[in-house]
């Protein structure tokens, strides 16, 4: 099988630090072209990564490179819908960074364009591809901890970007919840199997910000009786980053960072964490590499699609109601 020709649109930190190095590492990928509104930046990055073609706008990239089969979209959130649809209509498969779009309506248009053009729409939820998370999900899916009824997640860290747009609600879609919370929301719903939504209650805080929230606490209830809680913050006064996902079932529990799996047998609780499991020394970097490899393998028919645009619709439905709940101070019920 020949190499998949890939283009990257949006050359901020995430592309420079994660996407481009991950693509260069994969033998099955070839970076055909890159694009950024700052043409000077595009030129310098093209030189750094030995990429021959660079562009200022997506239209030129798409029209001049029909051989490109996959596009990584890592632009500001308010541009995701327009660029995604242009790529899909040009016959390209896309991996679009989280969140998929500003809101559920925009996300639905992207998904519809993917279906209409028979192309893959994958959302960049790299945390699903952490080695500890993948192992955790394996045990949850095989019901080693019984039926899962509660997932508790959190991510306390500095904000992911210093770009000006990142702190503007109309361009980013929100603050810490769309930066870190959406990743934990996706992870929690994935662990639970994306059950039907019942309600959401949320609180936002603006301790060091004005336009967007810097702390959020959310409770999501599902119609099958299960629940998910999320706590995320850019401003908690902690000594270091804290990332967790705890899954509780009727017959045990599992947590990550580090990975632990506990299972009840008769009347005792045993640690059944695989003894040979070795966590990646750099979970963030390796998760982006695994994600990129999976995306390309899916395009080539070797994997089933995960972190799909359709799953993102459920996530975006929750995101919208998180902000409604936080603004109104009320629990929001889903229809």
**What does the pLDDT look like over 155-196, one tens digit per residue?**
999 888 888 899 999 999 999 999 999 999 999 999 999 999
Report the alpha-carbon distance of residue 114 to residue 121 in Å, rounded.
6
- The per-residue pLDDT for range 39-83, each reduced to its tens digit, is 999 999 999 999 999 999 999 999 999 999 999 999 999 999 999
Q: Which of 210, 211, 220 is nearest to 184 (CA)?
A: 220
Domain 4-126+290-308 has CATH 3.75.10.20: no
pLDDT at 223 over 70: yes
- Long-range CB contacts for residues 296-299, cutoff 8 Å, separation at least 24: 296/4, 296/6, 296/26, 296/28, 296/29, 296/70, 297/28, 298/120, 298/122, 299/4, 299/69, 299/70, 299/93, 299/120
**What pLDDT digit, counting tens, does each position of 261-290 carry?**
999 999 999 999 999 998 888 999 999 999
Per-residue pLDDT tens digits for 77-94: 999 999 999 999 999 999
pLDDT-derived band at 1 (thresholds 50, 70, 90) equals low
Pick the CATH number of 128-282+313-333 from 3.50.50.60, 3.40.640.10, 1.10.3720.10, 3.30.360.10: 3.30.360.10
Q: What is the mean pLDDT of the chain?
A: 96
pLDDT digits (tens, 9 = 90+) for 290-312: 999 999 999 999 999 999 999 99
Buried b (16+ CB within 10 A) or exposed e, 269-307: eeebbeeeeeeeeebebbbbbbbbbbbbebbeeeeebbb
Question: What is the side-by-side strand order in the sheet with 70-73?
Answer: 53-55, 29-35, 4-9, 70-73, 93-97, 121-124
CATH 3.30.360.10 in the chain: give the residue spans.
Answer: 128-282+313-333
pLDDT of the residue at 162: 84
pTM summary value: 0.95
Domain span(s) for CATH 3.40.50.720 in the chain: 4-126+290-308
């Amino acid at each position: 099988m020949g190499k998949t020709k890939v283009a990257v649109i949006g050359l901020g930190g995430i592309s420079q630090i994660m996407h481009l190095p991950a693509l260069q590492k994969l033998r099955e990928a070839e970076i055909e072209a890159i694009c950024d509104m700052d043409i000077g930046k595009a030129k310098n990055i093209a030189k750094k990564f030995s990429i021959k073609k660079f562009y200022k706008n997506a239209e030129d990239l798409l029209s001049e490179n029909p051989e490109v089969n996959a596009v990584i979209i890592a632009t500001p959130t308010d541009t995701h819908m327009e660029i995604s649809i242009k790529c899909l209509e040009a016959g390209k498969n896309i991996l679009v960074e989280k969140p998929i779009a500003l809101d559920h309506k925009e996300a639905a248009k992207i998904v519809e364009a993917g279906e209409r053009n028979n192309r893959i729409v994958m959302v960049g939820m790299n945390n699903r591809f952490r080695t500890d998370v993948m192992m955790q999900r394996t045990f949850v899916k095989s019901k080693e901890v019984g039926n899962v009824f509660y997932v508790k997640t959190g991510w306390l860290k500095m904000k992911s970007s210093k770009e000006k747009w990142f702190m503007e609600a109309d361009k980013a879609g929100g603050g810490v919840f769309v930066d870190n919370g959406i990743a934990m929301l996706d992870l929690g719903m994935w662990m639970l199997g994306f059950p039907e939504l019942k309600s959401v209650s949320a609180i936002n805080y603006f301790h060091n910000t004005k336009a967007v929230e810097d702390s959020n606490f959310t409770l999501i209830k599902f119609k099958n009786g299960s629940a998910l809680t999320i706590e995320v913050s850019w401003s908690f006064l902690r000594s270091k980053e804290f990332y967790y996902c705890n899954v509780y079932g009727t017959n045990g529990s599992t947590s990550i960072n580090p990975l632990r799996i506990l299972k009840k047998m008769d009347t005792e609780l045993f640690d059944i964490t695989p003894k040979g499991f070795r966590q990646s020394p750099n979970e963030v970097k390796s998760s982006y590499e695994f994600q990129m490899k999976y995306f390309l393998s899916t395009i080539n028919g070797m994997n089933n699609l995960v972190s799909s645009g359709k799953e993102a619709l459920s996530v975006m439905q929750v995101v919208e109601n998180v902000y409604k709940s936080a603004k109104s101070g009320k629990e929001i019920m889903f229809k």
